[in-house]
Each structure stands twice: as structure tokens, then as C-alpha cells.
Structure 1
């Protein structure tokens, strides 16, 4: 006889409970945790076993068992995260839900986003309670991230082109991500830094003297992570052509050169077009507008900023340029290629989901 597990306690829903669960599932701005827990309970109410519910929703069996038991024990209140040890909770799920809805779907009259104090005043709860609710549901009203969607009419074609170079590079060719980090400032701090000590971080003066700027031209080899670089005081088409000449001398003969760069006018100047016409092994691939994130050389610029420029102290442009050359030289002694994993379809699907969220927020 086959061994069976313990019989499951029946899970039945009242009409009000079913309506509330379905509302949480349908609401666009319900937190993902609460929506998933609601789906689990609704599936269990169909009479399905825990293993069947886990299979349908693509989650683990213990997760189904946990929220089934919590709902049977505490009903709708059981779908809210358990309180921490201490004074028993004194607010119900309705007030918790209202805080979440107000946080996601409204703003205070005199501010752009909620603070714990303003939400506490609106909800009648304490600031610490508001903070615990936000933490439990991953809400951080004080944080924001910037973005700008591309309006390039050939966005999809360019994404497929560039991602194809990353994931399936052509044979007998090198793929280079190229850009300029322009207007890098030589900054001299007004006072010497206080060195780090146990319990005390390094301290630097917030004001400085400017000694001029330079630009770092860089080409990242996506296969091995090495960087070809030059520094120039300006970043016109003249300097870009000089950089292409250096790339041409550096890359072994017999290899095609695929250059990924942005739509900056310098990169399309007639001077550059003339030079490219005389060097047919070079193939230009332009990123979509407002899409610098797809150019891997931006990762190199982030590293040089973090490791060198963020705390730099240079008394001349010459000193800054020497440090930039030294940094690239050290990088090439132990290069670290960046591994690209997203397919073009993954990127386009992600952008489509973002557009749905933006359009939904506008209603």
C-alpha cells in the first residue's frame, strides 16, 4: 500500500474572504508577497493538494504549507508577516493594507513622497509601526532611481545587433566597446586628508581647487577584458580619429574590428566617415539613444571612478593623466571581462514590463 501523508485540514472561504483575496491579487500595486499568499490560499480553496498548488504556482511545497496553515489559523490576518517578539500587535490587516495603499497610490499634500512622520500622522499609527510595515513589504518611499526610455526608431534592431555581438561574436574579429569619459577634473583638495584610523573613516575636505580637465578614451575588448586607452584634453572628431588609429595599430592585422559606441556626433563626423572608408576592417555599431547601459565600457568607467577619481587629489592635469594611464596599465595586468547574460528577448521583455507599469501608474 502506498504511504500517504497526513490528511490536510479543509480550507474553505467565505464570500467576503474570497472577494478580499481576489482584490489583493488583481490590485496592480499590491505587494508581491501579499499577492502570492493570496493566490496560494485561493488555489488551496479549490481542494488542490499542497504539492499541486506548489506546481501550479512554481513555488516550494513548504511555502504552500506555511501560508495554508497560517490562513486556517488566523484567516486574512495570517497573511501579514508575523510580528516580532515583544508587545502583541494592536492593529489589524485592514489598517496595514490602508498604509500600503496610501504609500503606493497617493502623496502627501505638501511633499513629493511619504515620510514615516507624515504617514504616521495620516494613519494614526506610530512612526515605528509605519516603519515596520514598510520594511515587511519592501517599501522605501525615500529612494528613487533614474531612467530614460529610448525613443530610437531602430531600438529593437540595435539591441539585437549589439547583444548578438556579445553572445555570439564573429570569428576572426575583435569586439570593442568604445566611449570617452569626458571632462574628468583635476581636483586639488583644499586641505590634506585625515587618514583612516580604527573606528574612524578617512576624512577629506569637501572643497577643492580645479586645475583643468581631460578626457579618457577607452576601448574594452569584450572577450578578454583588456582596455586600449588614450587621454586627450578635448574630445572632438580629431581626437576620436587619433584613438581609432591607435586601435588600428593595436589590434593584430587580419582581424575585423567591431566598434560599439553611442550616437555622439563626433563618432559620425565626416572626418570619421572618411577614415572608416579607408579602413574597411572597421565596422561601427551604434547603441540606441539613451541606452549607454548596453555599452560595457561604462562598467570600466564606473571602476575607474570608484577606484581612482572618487577620492582623487591632483594638482595638475598632467598628474591626473598619468594616474589614468597607470590605472589602465594596472587593469590590463589582470583584466576582468564582464560576462553578458541577457538575451535581446530578455531585455525587450523587461522594457515591456516597465512600460506596462508606467502606463498603469498613469491611470
Structure 2
């Protein structure tokens, strides 16, 4: 019977190589292919032939021969996967950049009757413009996702139109930083952010809402009967995070005055040195008249208005967004009493763990924003900044 031929690649391991290969062969987290390669080399070092190694490890003899020779010529580096060229790219970086540039243009500017691009429409426009011969919508979507360019999304915004925008916003931001006219607020001075959330409807669903079940989301009936609407007025103590709220049939001077009274008649505000009320320019608290009414009714209260169209500077809007997500959506109430009870219970629940919002927007951020707007504003708009 012929003897198995011996490999010309005789493996002799150094102590550190033997230890490394033994550790790799026993490591539970190692990739299976690396464990197999380590076992091939260890068996070869023990004097086994390629045929014996193949039988022992359940592989083709060519596999044993390959990794024995790779280790012999390159040692431990030879057990790593060799670099692979892969399929050649179908599109050049320049073509990808041109498609992304198309995504940054408004469709109407290219004569396309669309308000926004989709991936499929961008792919078609790229072919029409001669950027590429052919490209799929999924490829275009992958390019845009990698660069965070998603032209099918948009965000609304409003350009500052208040001629005193910067000055008014600075006052509000100073109060959030516990400053007034350049001086730090004392222990007996408080900042309140207040507003109204209007037209909260009571929608009585024609069929009861079903809770989540196995492999099923919560189900809310589409049809409903209208049960009226009310307004929710709230005041937030900016620096302690406590909320005071009330429901009213509608908004107006009298409802807002009742909210102010609700806050100002309790401690620590009743005996406070000063209480600053940050409000927007809604009809319930607009202009100098609201400042005069507040000071006449409460000698220690001062109204501070946000700039026009800048409700985002009023922290109470953050609380209202929480109410919208956690209380009002989905809107499923029996009647207005049910709405009122839910809102009253929620601000009590919120106050159990309420804390100040982590407000990070500063005057420096505002200055940078206004500078960016001025750089991109039409000439006729620069005077408003």
C-alpha cells in the first residue's frame, strides 16, 4: 500500500505561535473559518498529512493544503482573508455627486411639475439630464440616505419679521438664564412661561378604542361624533418645572386673567419680589395694554413679550407638545367633561416628577442664527434684522 506523500511545507511553530493558535482554536467568539484554519496549522505542526487533516476536520484536501502553505509562507498573517477587489462600481463618484446636486434643487426650477422629489423621480431626472445612463430608485435612495439628503421631507419655518426681534428675544433668553437688565435674579424672583392651547376637541368614537393585542396595534375608530371644544391655559415655572393649568370654554382676557390669579394668589408667587410672565402676542395678552393690566392687578408681576412669530422661544410650548402627544392624541373622549378631567389630572401627574426643561439655546445661538439669515436674506428683508 503506497504511503501518503508528505507536504513540502513542514510546519514548525514558535512557542508564541503555538500559544496564539491554541487560543484561537478554543475561542468561542472567534469566527468559524478562523478556528478551522488554526486547527489545520496545529494538525500540520503535529506531523499530520494534508489527507489526514482533511479527514479529521471534514474538509477537502485542497483546503488543508491551501492554509498549510499560506501559513508556511506568511505565518500568522497568512490566516487572514486576502483582500478582495469586489465588483467594479457602476457609478463614478462624480455621477453620485451630480445626482445629489439634483436632489438639492427644487423640481419646479427644472421644469418638473412637482413640489418635492422622490427617489424614483430623481432617478428619472438623472437619466433625462444625461447624468447616468440608467439608475434605480433604490440606488438613489441609498446615496441620499448615506448623505442625510432626503428631498421628500420638508420643515416649515417663518422668517423673523419683528423689527425688534433680536432685542425682544435677548430679554427672554436672559430671563431663562436668570438675568434681568444685566443683573442676576434673586431668590424671590420667578419666571413664568404662559400661553393657551386652543380648540381641544372631544371626539366620541363611534366604536370603543381597542387596546393593543397580540400582533396588533391599538385600534382607534376613524369615525366620531363631535362633543365640542375647550381651551387649555397653562403657566410653567421655568426654573422649577412646575405647571399650573386650567380649562376654559374659550380664550380671552378674562380666562387669561383667571390663570394669572390662579398662580399669583399662591406661594411663593404671592409674596415674591417680582414675577416675570413670558407670553406671546396672542389677543389675550397683546401689546402695552396687557402690560398695564398685569401691573395694575399684580404690582409684583411684569409681562415680557416674545417677538412676533417666535412662539418657539416660549417654553410653555414644549409642555403643550407633551400634552398633545401624551393626552390629546389619539383624541378619544366621551365629552368635554372627560377632556377637562383628563387635562386637570395630567398636569397634577406631570408635577409629580416635573423638572425644568434643559434649555440650551443662548444669545450666542440667536446671534449666529440671525447672521445666517442675514447672509441669505433678500436685500429688501435685511432691514428687519
TM-score by length of 1: 0.71
1:1-363 alignment to 2 at 5 Å?
A: 87-107=87-107, 109-123=112-126, 124-169=134-179, 170-171=185-186, 172-252=188-268, 253-255=270-272, 256-268=274-286, 270=289, 273-357=292-376
SS of structure 2 residue aligned to 1:146: coil
| Offset, 1:134 | 1.0
How many Å separate the matches in 2 of 1:138 and 1:354? 22
After TM superposition, give the deviation of residue 106 of structure 1 in Å: 4.4
Across the aligned residues of Structure 1 and Structure 2, the Cα RMSD in angstroms comes to: 2.1
Question: Based on CA coordinates, which of the two structures has the bigger radius of gyration?
Answer: 2
SS of alignment partner, residue 246 of structure 1: helix
Q: Per-residue deviation at 1:146?
A: 0.7
Q: Distance in 2 between matches of 1:112 and 1:86?
A: 39
- Which moved further from structure 2: 138-147 or 262-271? 262-271
User: What secondary structure sits across from 2:198 in the alignment?
Assistant: strand
Contact 2:240 2:356 in 1 (8 A): yes
CA gap 1:278/1:138 in 2 versus in 1, 3 angstroms: closer
How far apart in 2 are the matches of 1:296 and 1:186?
26
Which 5+ residue runs of structure 1 have no aligned equivalent?
1-84
User: CA separation of 1:189/1:272 partners in 2, compared to 1, >3 Å: closer, same or farther?
Assistant: farther
CA distance in 2, matches of 1:183, 1:148: 23
Q: Distance in 2 between matches of 1:149 and 1:352?
A: 13
1:313-339 Cα deviation digits (max 9, x unpaired)? 211111110111000111111112102
Call closer, same or farther: CA 1:323–1:131 in 2, change over 3 Å: same
Structure 1 residues 217-275: Cα deviation after superposition (integer angstroms, max 9, x where no partner): 11100111101111110111011111111111124333111000001122148587345
Q: 2 CA distance for matches of 1:359 and 1:133?
A: 32
Q: In the TM superposition, what is the alpha-carbon distance from 1:357 to its structure 2 partner?
A: 4.7
Q: Report how far residue 121 of structure 1 moved.
A: 1.7
Instruction: Check conservation: 2:241, 2:356, Cα contact below 8 A.
Output: yes
The 1-side partners of 2:240 and 2:88 are apart by 58
**The residue matched to 2:332 in structure 1 has which SS?**
coil
1:312 deviates by 3.3
TM-score, normalised by the number of residues in structure 2: 0.67
Distance in 2 separating the partners of 1:271 and 1:291 = 18
- Unaligned runs of at least 5 residues, structure 2: 1-84, 127-133, 180-184, 380-385
Cα distance, 1:296 vs structure 2: 0.5
Q: Is the Cα contact below 8 Å between 1:188 and 1:315 reproduced in 2?
A: yes
8 A Cα contact 1:241 1:272, kept in partner: no
For residue 198 of structure 1, report the CA deviation from its aligned partner.
Answer: 3.2
